[in-house]
A and B are shown apart, each in its own frame.
Chain A
Amino acid sequence: MTATAAENPLLEGLNVRPRPEPCTLVIFGASGDLTQRKLMPALYALAVRHLLPERFAIVGAARSDMSDEDFRERMKEAVQEFARDDFRQDVWDTLAEGMRYTTLVGSENQDEDSLGRLLDEVDRERATEGNHVYYFAVPPAAIAALVREVAARKSEKGWTRLIIEKPFGHDLDSARALNALLRERFDESEVFRIDHYLGKETVQNMLALRFANGIFEPIWNRQFIDHVQITVAESIGIEGRAAFYEHAGALRDVFQNHLLQLVALTAMEPPIDFTSESVRNEKVKVLRSLHTPGPKSVVRGQYGRGFVDGEEVPGYREEEGVSRDTGTETFVAAKLYVDNWRWADTPFYVRTGKRLARRETTIAIQFKRAPHPPFEEVAAEALRPNVLLIHVQPNEGMSLAIGAKAPGLGLSIRTVHMDFLYGSAFREGLPEAYERLILDAMLGDATLFTRADEIEEQWALVDAIAAPWQRDRPAFPNYAAGTWGPPSADDLVHRDGRSWRRH
């Protein structure tokens, strides 16, 4: 149904979710972990909710040798294990009917032939009209060659869209080169650089919180906010991804993308509307104005042996596939400034790391203290500044710390929390980020994807942070697994008379 309510009077008042046009989704890296844990369960969830196109096909492509039947069986197991919905045979049968697989082996020409032929066949069988979405769930090194292949195969009949997983490049130069390659063959509107954090409901709720509530935006600035703390903490280690992580580290794995996107959403100006260009224009302005005052405002760390959830875990250098004297950082903390009228001199303390005390992604907005509390010092000693805490994961929601009188005859002020838990007010299950993002890409809506200039601004900052790291060799490990990072991360905040929020 493509007519609008203005053209079709019967559509007026109907809440018909737009359904993507017929298309084939090609997954490069179809035998990988991401496909099984995230992509296939997301596609199944969309199928359960009738959100996939009426005429739809999935083509898996990977180096592993598999038949169509093997592929379907493997994907079925993935859905049964990881999907958020109960398994329904009828939904699965409909989805599996359009699933095919091709092995990417030998030279690229052969790949193109086998995949190209298969796509023609699928287009005919499933009437998908030559519309192709390519999902690049492959290591960064494999992306450029596949982009060239896809460009050579670009359908003249239908449209082509590319969803590219992070990391997009490994520094500014490589990101620019990849962007240049994409620009040569594709329009920016055809490229969807995915950062799955942007698909999370709570991240999008940041926009609702700021721009749908009249009470927050007037105080969302340097006049009222003392500082901002953003934490993206993981309690897990590298989970067998040594080959990738040794090159990336925490700076490129999380800081460059998830963390900087959270900074951008927290600090951005109100967009004039919620179209992809307006939102991304505002985010890129923030990224362009970010700076860190100098090398002393960045702390890196690497975990040693320690305890997580009561169990002893190895240090990073003891993980399989990791060099025994590696200098790769598993923790980064930084003080950032946003150089604009709204945020001048307001520090954004950010940190991310692996094997920290617990899994938690939060944005804490700490407001300035009341200018003159008219209470005796002892009455207000347990009073802390107001903090608006946004829980991105887990326990999605937010809380506001306020001072309240403790019951009793005296006047003693205590800090209490007003909590909003997503799961308590809205009892529908939150969709997984990948569901939203895959659907948006099929619909051609790039609002929640990262634009070329955003990526380049992110890498420019990361390169500036990493440059001094080439010159010195840190004394790693410098924090025990299961703690909140190295002591120098505390010093970074203490030097300014502040502290990381208590967990």
Chain B
Amino acid sequence: MGATRITYQGACVLQALSRGLSYGFDIMELTGLPSGSVYPILRRFEEHGLVESEWEDAHEAHADRRPRRRHYRLTPTGRAELAAAGERLALHRNLFLDGGRTEEATS
């Protein structure tokens, strides 16, 4: 799945998952991304094997008087992709820092 192009938003979702978050709504909260972005990203990653999901046990949720939830976690592939994406994003960060200096110089 090396061909997967991971966007900035995608990297954020992966990063949130790697921090142990596993529900869509929590990821939204942490990353600030809207639901219309988070869920499609999760589905795409799952198709490409970066993420796997599991429905929690229905009995357990029922006992808790709430609907059962689907939770997501990173696969090893997902972890590797996140690392690669992290390197690329670090480059982006440099780009932004450079840009900042250039701006200071010209003003």
> Is chain B found bound to chain A in the same assembly?
no
